A and B are shown apart, each in its own frame.
Chain A
Amino acid sequence: MAIAPATPKSWYLPTKPHKFCPGCGHGIVLKALGENIDELGIQNDIIFGCDIGCSLLAWDFFACDSTQTHHGRVTPVMVGLKRSRPELLTVGYMGDGGGYSIGSQHLLNAAVRNETITLILVNNTNYGMTGGQMSPTTLPGQVTETTPLGRDTAITGYPTKGPEFLSTLTSDGAYIARATVSKYKQLKRFMRNALRNQIEGNGFSFLEVLATCPTNWRTNAQQTWNFLEDEIEKEFRVGEMKTPFGKGDKEVAVD
């Protein structure tokens, strides 16, 4: 008899197996979220909000209430929900295109207002759902459908460093971090901190997660992992950029 893999209790089983591509990082991020929901006992308190893009595929992923919105707009929907129902925990889920490009105005203003919401941004350095175009986080020289000769920084600038700019914008009480799907335990720990910060009502919480996209990167398993660990994690440093009220020891990047 086959043994089913352990799945978080908060996963919604009728929608499993999920629809993400083989090798995609979303599954790992959503597993970390599911385990945190279980361990914190917040399944009935969470409203999970999806942006458009690959993050959309998580719209019915959890056995939690969820809502789905337009590209870039999950942040204001979560803001409206939280302000109307402060007792709920609102978790917005988005990609690097939705968060740093079309939704950047919402993201930075929600951060400045120290909105008591948790946002998880999955950064796989491209627009996955639309077929692999350049995103704000595409690496210099990285080939995408709209940078077929590689991203030319003279034309399109350098990758957006989300947690870095958000940590300078936010005030006391915010939690800002970057994790990677290659370090699962740390990812789960940072995510728990981002959720607990909202539970404690301290303020804005933001977690960027570096993730894999073999379909659009056109990479095999080994190349996928190499690109994540050897190139993306060099460009985007993993660690906690800001902890609420400066409390606790920040986990910073070590080379």
Chain B
Amino acid sequence: MEKIVEGSTRAFLTGNETIAWASLVAGAEFMFGYPITPQNEIMHYWTRLAPKYGRGFLQTEDEISAGFTVCGAVQGGKKAFTATAGPGNVLMQEPFGMAEAMRLPMVAIIQQRGGPSSGTVIYSQQEVNLTTFGGNGEGYRIVYSTASHQELYDYTIKAFNTAWTYRFPTFILGDGYQAKMREPLELYDPQEKGITLAESFPLVGLPGVIGENRQPQHLNNIYSLEEELYEKVMTFSAVFEKISPEIVEYEEDSCEGADIILISHGVVSRAARDAMLILRSQGIKAGYFRPVTLRPFPDEALKKVILQSNAKKALIAESSYGQLTRLIKQSIYGETINIDTLYKPGVGIVDYDIINKVKSIL
């Protein structure tokens, strides 16, 4: 494959532009997309870059089609992705469900906007529920919640590898701030960093002659009997639980001996880390925990951090009304730590929001 980036280079890009570059270097061969703010520029950059490297693009008639064309392309054995937000994410739950049911290695970039409904085109963290557990099933999805442009680059590359290694639909959960903001980052060739790109492979249209040296491939996602579906779902669950420890990622800082643990994800975690440092400089023992994967959730890690910290309180900060809190509560069931919350649905959170809240509850 042609080198997209030689060695490594510093760049000053928007998040959407970063994702287009990362998808290219990850070996994505097709993007299927439908316009919705704030992810549009992923398509804008992709449509300019892709033809130079022989990659494809199709603007479909809606998000349902964008998702299902990705399902078709990955069944054909090509790395393919889409990007969406808000109501588009709602429509894509249908193809995401098919990807779960047929173990299709599809990648989707979600740039969260305000909700419910059309909400705002700007920013939120309100698509956590939808992205982690949005389908009519058990949520066999892998969701990376990024916080910076470097992470958008790193995790977009990783998302294609994760999808094609484990065969579960894989998501980059960004937001409108990350999409539109411009930040410095390092672009690099993954192989030169020692990152092996996962091989893609076809699920249909295999080489060989049917009846002579291979059987026909019959892919399906519907079953006649309850027991057939049960077996399938139980197998998915077992596989997902087995691979989860290999996939789970989180960040932890200064939790040991802390009086309060600040928990957040995505771009809000940058404010939380700053708040933790400022609070510490003021003599308040704050700790910091951030799940990077929201699905699977780092429950064991968080339980351990809480146990070892001896903290009596946790503060959960999110730009939604409890979507992260729900994931945390179900993960740490049985712990007695007191939970306070800072909810600003659809609105940004800065360090002093968190600092003021901490001071009001300690």
Contacts and interface: CB of A to CB of B under 8 A. Distances in A.
B58 A85 contact: no
A76 B73 CA distance: 10
A217 interface: no
Interface in B279-300: none
Contacts of B98: 69-70, 73
Contacts of B71: 69, 76-77, 80
Contacts of B210: 43-44, 63-65
Given A47-B204, A68-B221, A73 B68 contact: yes
Interface residues of A, number: 33
Interface string B208-219: 111100001111
Contact of B72 (A52, A56, A76): A76
Contacts of B75: 67, 77, 80-81
Contacts of A79: 58, 60, 65, 69, 72
A52 to B, nearest CB: 7
Interface in B79-122: 80, 94-95, 98, 102
B78 interface: yes
8 closest cross-chain pairs (CB), A and B: A80-B72, A80-B69, A76-B68, A84-B76, A109-B61, A84-B73, A65-B204, A81-B72
Contacts of B73: 80-81, 83-84
Nearest to A71: B94
Contacts of B220: 59-60, 67-68
Most buried by A among B72, B76, B98, B218: B72
A79 B72 CA distance: 7
Interface of B: 29-30, 32, 56, 58, 60-62, 64-65, 68-78, 80, 94-95, 98, 102, 202-206, 208-211, 216-222
B101 to A, nearest CB: 10
Contacts of A47: 204-205
Most buried by B among A65, A73, A109: A65
Contact of A77 (B69, B77, B218): B69
A84 B70 CA distance: 9
Nearest to A64: B216
A141 B211 CA distance: 48
A89 B153 CA distance: 36
Given A64-B216, A67-B204, A105-B62, A84 B30 contact: yes
Nearest to A108: B61
A68 B76 contact: no
A78 interface: yes
Nearest to B206: A65
Contacts of B56: 83-84
A186 to B, nearest CB: 29
A59 B219 CA distance: 8
A227 interface: no
A109 B98 CA distance: 22
Contacts of B203: 67
Contacts of A76: 60, 64-65, 68-69, 71-72
Contacts of B204: 47, 65-67, 81
Given A43-B210, A68-B219, A84 B65 contact: no
